[in-house]
Amino acid sequence: MKKLVNITIFTILLFNIFPFADTLFASDNRENNEGCVILNLHWSEGEITLNSMKKVVGLIKRTGRKDITQSFFYTLNSKDGETVKTGNFKIPRKLHYDYFDESTGELKGGKLQRDEIDFVIRVPYFRKVKQIMFYKADIGSQSHTMSLKMLLEESDDYELLGAINF
pLDDT tens, 75-133? 999 999 899 998 889 898 899 999 999 999 999 999 999 999 999 999 999 999 999 99
31-165 architecture in CATH? Sandwich (2.60)
Smallest CA-to-CA distance from 136 within 73, 92, 42, 49 is with 73
The pLDDT of residue 122: 93
Q: Which residues of 15-50 are buried (b: 16+ CB within 10 A; e: fewer)?
A: eeeeeeeeeeeeeeeeeebeebbebebebeeeebee
The pLDDT of residue 80: 92
Domain locations in the chain?
31-165
Query: Structure pTM?
Result: 0.67
